[in-house]
């Protein structure tokens, strides 16, 4: 079942989501929700989806960055972003530790449909969370995977990428593809007048 993805302006996207108990995590309802979120994310298509994006203020997100989504991206852009395939997994009640000097790339969101902006994010992230069975997990990530984790965990805190982006870089997807996507980030920043 494909769930409705709520868009910017919905109050649920601006509130801190509540944690789930281990009993809730193991419930049939949450197992079903995870499956529906996976289907919704893949159908969109996206690389992450947090429960607030489907209208539920729960500390739950699903992530997957399959190789087929990366096929159309030139190898040099994949390397610049540190983007590699990430298998499907679930984050519940995550806490985040960041490392390194922030790097900037264009970032979009299924809840801000059709737009992107340059967002500074830490290049490395460590996440302590529970998995879909309620077991503790620690995730060490770098590059694009670290960016995805930060983006989805922001959703659980009521934060959108819009709050972190360089406002001068805000663009439509069409204009990103026409003007900015084929440029190295430093060159796009210079042309946009982003410090």
Give the residue numbers marked as catalytic.
152
Spatial CB neighbours of 29, under 8 Å, sequence gap ≥ 6? none
Nearest CA-CA partner of 53 in 10, 94, 114, 2 = 10
CA 182 to chain centre: 22
Q: How far is CA 49 from CA 59, 65, 116, in A?
A: 11, 11, 16
| Residues facing 115 on adjacent strands | 172
């Amino acid at each position: 079942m494909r769930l409705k993805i709520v868009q910017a302006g919905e109050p649920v996207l601006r509130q801190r989501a509540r944690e789930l108990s281990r009993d809730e995590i193991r419930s049939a309802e949450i197992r079903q929700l995870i499956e529906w979120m996976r289907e919704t994310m893949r159908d969109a298509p996206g690389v992450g989806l947090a429960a607030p994006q489907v209208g539920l203020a729960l500390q739950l997100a699903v992530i997957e960055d399959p190789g087929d989504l990366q096929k159309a991206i030139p190898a040099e852009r994949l390397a610049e972003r540190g983007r590699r395939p990430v298998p499907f997994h679930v984050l519940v009640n995550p806490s985040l530790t960041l490392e390194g000097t922030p790097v900037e790339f264009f970032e979009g969101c299924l809840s801000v449909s059709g737009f992107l902006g340059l967002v500074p994010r830490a290049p490395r992230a460590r996440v302590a969370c529970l998995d879909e069975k309620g077991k503790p997990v620690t995730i060490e990530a770098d590059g694009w995977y670290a960016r995805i984790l930060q983006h989805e965990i922001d959703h659980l805190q009521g934060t959108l990428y819009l709050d972190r982006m360089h406002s001068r870089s805000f663009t439509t997807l069409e204009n990103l593809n026409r003007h900015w996507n084929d440029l190295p980030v430093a060159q796009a920043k210079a042309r946009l007048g982003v410090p």
